[in-house]
Structure 1
Amino acid sequence: MQSEVKEEAKVNKGIYKRFLKRPMDFILSLMAIIVLSPVLIFVVVLVKVKLGSPVLFKQKRPGLNEKIFTMYKFRTMTDEKDENGDLLPDSVRLKKFGRILRSTSLDELPELFNILKGDMSIVGPRPLLIQYLELYNEHQRRRHEVRPGLSGHAQVNGRNAISWEDKFNLDVDYVDNVSFMSDWKIIFLTIIKVFVKEGINSETSVTMEAFRGSQRMED
C-alpha cells in the first residue's frame, strides 16, 4: 500500500513538472508584471537618475539543459574605473542605492520577463555564470535538468550565506523533488526572506564568492 502511494506521488510530480509548471510560470509572471508595473517603472526612473544608462544589467547564463540565455536584472553598480581603465572592485562600485535594490530583491524584477519568455521559472536553481559550467562535477551539473528560477530551494535555505557545496546539494534535491506543493512553499518562504533580508551577502563578499570547482562527488 505504501509503495502504491509513493508511486502515485511520483506520477503526480512528473505530471506537474512536465505539463503544469510552465503554464503556472507564464500566468504568475504575467500577473506579476501587470500588478508590479508601477514599481518597475519607478525603479527604472531611479536607476536612470542614480546610476545612469543602461538601466538593465544583461548577462548570459546557462538555463535548462545548459542552453544559454540572456538574463535581465536592474543595474546596481556604478561604472567606476581605476587609472588603467579597469572596473573597480564590486565592493567599491556597489553604493547605498544598489545595496537597497539588492536587499529588497527589486533588482531581480526584470527576470519576470525571462520567466514569461520561458528562459526561467518562478522556482528553480538560480542561473549561475557560464564559466562555472566547466567546473561542475556530474552531481552539480544536474541542477540544469530544470529551468533556473527567480528563487529556489537554496535561496530560502541560506542564499549567499551557505557554502557552494550546500547550495548545489539543495539545487539537486529540488530537481529530484519538484512538486506543486514544494514550489508554493518556496514562493511563500521567498516572500518572507525578502522582508527579513537574510543571506544576501556571504561572509567574504558583497554577494557570493566565486565558485572555484570542487572534488568529484561519489554517487
Structure 2
Amino acid sequence: MRIYETYVKRPQDLLLASFVFILLSPFLLVVSILIKWKLGGPVLFRQKRPGKDDVIFEMVKFRTMTEERDEHGELLPDDKRLTPFGQKLRSLSIDELPSLINIIKGDISIVGPRPLLVDYLSRYNEKQKRRHEVRPGLTGLAQVNGRNRLSWEERFDLDVQYVDHITFLGDWKIVVQTVYKVFKRDGISSDTSATMEAFMGSDIKKKQDALSR
C-alpha cells in the first residue's frame, strides 16, 4: 500500500469529519427538527451496508421518505414516498451529513466507492467485488462523474479505477468536484427513477452463473 493510504488517509478523515460535524452541529439540529415536523419519526434512517472486506456496518443518514404503506401494509414505491422536502434534502446531499459519524467511527472514508446494499454482495462479478478492497466513501469517483445517471457497470468500473489509483491529490480533487456537483444538483436521480434502480447483476455475472450451472 502507498504511504498516503497507510498513514495519512484515515487520520485525515477523522480530523476533517470531526471538525465538520462539530461545525455543523447547530445546522444538523435544525434539520432534525424539520424532519420530525414534516416527515415524523424517526429522524434518522439506518441501514446495514458492507464496508471494507465485506464487513457489515450500520450506515446513518437523515430520513427523506415517508412511511406510507398500501392496504397490504407494504411500503409504497420510492417515488410515492419521496416528498418535495425529502427531495430537497437529497438534491443538496444534506441527507448524507449524519454519515460523518460513520467516518469518525472508521466505517467509511470521506472518499471511496459508495457503500451499497448487502443484497448486492452476491451479484457482483470478480472485478466488481474489488470495490470492497478499500473503505467505502461518502463520495467517490462515480459520484463526480455522473452519480445516479451512470449505469451500474459504469459506476463499478469507476469504483475499481479509484481502488487502483488512490492518491492525496486525487481524493482532494474528488472532494472539490463533489462540492461543485452538490451546488449544481447534478445526477441526483437516474433517468428512469426518483432513486437509483436496484442492481440485479451485470450481464457478465449472469453469463458466469449460467455457465456454472
Q: Fold conserved (TM > 0.5)?
A: yes
**Runs of 5+ consecutive residues of structure 2 not aligned to the other structure:** 206-213
Q: Distance in 1 between matches of 2:204 and 2:126?
A: 8
Higher deviation after alignment, 24-33 or 35-44: 35-44
Q: Distance in 2 between matches of 1:95 and 1:139?
A: 37
Q: Structure 1 residue 81 and structure 2 residue 69: aligned? A: yes
Paired position in structure 2 for 1:22: 10
Q: RMSD of aligned C-alpha atoms?
A: 0.9
Q: CA deviation at 1:84?
A: 1.0
Runs (4+) off by over 4 Å: none
> What per-residue deviation string (whole Å, max 9, x for no partner) do you get for residues 163-219 of structure 1?
1111000000000000000000000000000000000000111111111101338xx
TM-score, normalising length: structure 2: 0.95
Partner SS, residue 38 of structure 1: helix
Paired position in structure 2 for 1:175: 163
Asked if the contact 1:60–1:69 (Cα under 8 Å) also holds between the matched residues in 2, the reply is yes
Q: Distance in 2 between matches of 1:42 and 1:128?
A: 28
Paired position in structure 2 for 1:10: none
1:17-166 correspondence to structure 2 within 5 Å: 17-166=5-154
Q: Distance in 1 between matches of 2:204 and 2:127?
A: 8
Q: Distance in 2 between matches of 1:136 and 1:42?
A: 39
Partner SS, residue 204 of structure 2: coil
Partner SS, residue 69 of structure 1: strand
> What per-residue deviation string (whole Å, max 9, x for no partner) do you get for residues 97-150 of structure 1?
100000010000000000000000000000000000000011000000110100
Percent identity over paired residues: 61
**Runs of 5+ consecutive residues of structure 1 not aligned to the other structure:** 1-12
Q: Structure 1 residue 191 and structure 2 residue 179: aligned? A: yes
TM-score, normalising length: structure 1: 0.92
